[in-house]
Structure 1
Amino acid sequence: MTGTFYRLTAKDFAVIEAMLMRRRAFADPIAPMLERKLAESRVIATGAVEPDLATLNSRVIFRAGGGSSQTRTLVQAEASAPVGSGLPVATWHGLCLLGMRAGQSALAERADGPAEEVLLEEVAYQPEAARRAAQDRAAERPRHVLKLVHSAPTADWPLGGRGKIRQTEGDDPGPSAA
């Protein structure tokens, strides 16, 4: 993960920071990669997230080590996505992809093996950009508001008739009418 510039939302940064604190305590081999990710990242506002930026819950299309393309959703934990569709950021590839823009590549340096190049081909779905687009569409739609244009006096009834509030004078049809 060297030589690459990453952009993280405040939430993504906090998730990686919390992971680092937990992993350092257990001398996890991914801790140095977490430290590099935080050091090489810039925190950006949620409103400034581009549609081609990989953040948590983004659906990404990537290629690792020259293999075939894979489509996954970057998730915080494996249990938060259907089996096989999620890529936790606690994995080498997931952590490497987080904060990258489409077309960007980086080396995922593993403690247990050789470094592997990870290329982010496309961000198929970006939640912050999708939310912003939905808000823009909602703001463009005209709001339908009911407006009272006429108020009739209480003495006037439709069609000149005089209505009754309650049935009186033995007009009750009884339970069979229900």
Structure 2
Amino acid sequence: MSKETCILTTKDFTIVEVMRDRCLGQDDPLAPILKRKIESAIVMFRDDVPDDVATMSSRVTFSVNGRDPDTRIISHDRMTSTVGMFLPVTTLRGLALLGLAEGERFAFTNRDGVEERILLKKVDYQPEAARREKDALERHSMGQASVKPSLRLIRGAFYDRAPMVAVSPDGFDDPGPSAA
């Protein structure tokens, strides 16, 4: 049997610890999961977390007991936006997914006493990975900014036209009221 591990950012670990401190005791269904997460946690800075790990605010695709996959955003608490978009870590499934890597499973007993096995199929979006990608693009563009851009001037049709000539020698082309 392999040792269970859970990869958490420093922020996610702090959230899990606060949840454990506010836990209602052993009767709270989150208590055993919180204990397992804290005991098996590998805590990392957000810049070091692998891209395939479910962190807070990650959009993940998962399956419960082999059923059809579902996609949700792991959130800190219940959200007031669209129903079915978020999966709070204050729920058994949300907490179970936090810290898992793609392909990992987590088994727990739900409120009805039935064992559920949750499989993290894919991390579709991870804020830490998106931040690293954005920073890398900015660093790359800053490196490019120091290079002087090379421009090639292309003469257009404006330069090929004949110059405009005034109608009268004094440069005034209004014939006056007699022309009306």
TM-score bracket for the superposition, by shorter chain length:
0.7 to 0.9
Aligned to 1:173: none
Please tell me whether residue 114 in structure 1 is matched to residue 114 in structure 2.
Answer: yes
**Which residue in 2 is equivalent to 1:129?**
129
Task: Indicate yes or no: 2:117 matched with 1:143.
Answer: no
Cα pair 1:76 1:88 within 8 Å, conserved: yes
Q: Identity of aligned pairs, percent?
A: 38
TM-superposed deviation, 1:22: 0.9
Distance in 2 of aligned mates of 1:137 and 1:76? 29
Residue in structure 2 matched with residue 174 of structure 1 by the alignment? none
1:62 is displaced (CA, Å) by 0.2
Aligned residue for 1:48, secondary structure, equals: coil
User: Where does the alignment leave 5 or more consecutive residues of structure 1 unmatched?
Assistant: 146-178
* Per-residue Cα deviation, 1:3-50 (whole angstroms, up to 9, x for no partner): 521100010000011111111369522112211111111101111111
Contact 2:20 2:34 in 1 (8 A): yes
| Aligned counterpart, 2:6 | 6
1:32 and 2:32 aligned: yes
Please tell me whether residue 48 in structure 1 is matched to residue 48 in structure 2.
yes
CA–CA distance in structure 2, aligned partners of residues 129 and 51 of structure 1: 6
Taking the aligned partners of 1:41 and 1:135, their CA distance within structure 2 comes to 27
Moved more, 135-144 or 14-23: 135-144
Letter in 1 for 2:121: E
Structure 2 Cα separation of the partners of residues 113 and 26 of structure 1: 14
Aligned position for 1:100: 100
* TM score, norm. by length of structure 2: 0.74
Tell me the amino acid that sits aligned with residue 10 of structure 1.
Answer: T
Partner amino acid for 2:45?
A: A
Q: Is the 8 A contact 1:7 1:43 kept in 2?
A: yes
The CA distance in 2 between the partners of 1:47 and 1:9, in whole Å, is: 9
Q: Distance in 2 between matches of 1:91 and 1:135?
A: 33
Mapped partners of 1:84, 1:4: distance in 2: 29
Q: Aligned in 2, Cα 1:81/1:50: closer, same or farther, shift over 3 Å? A: farther
Alpha carbons of structure 1 residues 74 and 81: separation in structure 2 relative to 1, 3 Å = farther
How far off is 1:94 after superposition?
A: 0.7
| Conserved? CA contact 2:8–2:44, under 8 Å | yes
User: Which amino acid counterpart does residue 59 of structure 1 have in structure 2?
Assistant: R
Partner of 2:88: 88
Could you list the runs of 5+ residues in structure 2 that have no partner in the other structure?
A: 148-180
**Partner SS state of residue 19, structure 1:** helix
Moved over 6 A (4+): none
Change (3 A) 1:81 1:60: farther
Alpha-carbon deviations, 1:96-128, whole Å to 9, x = none?
Answer: 110000111110233531211100000000100
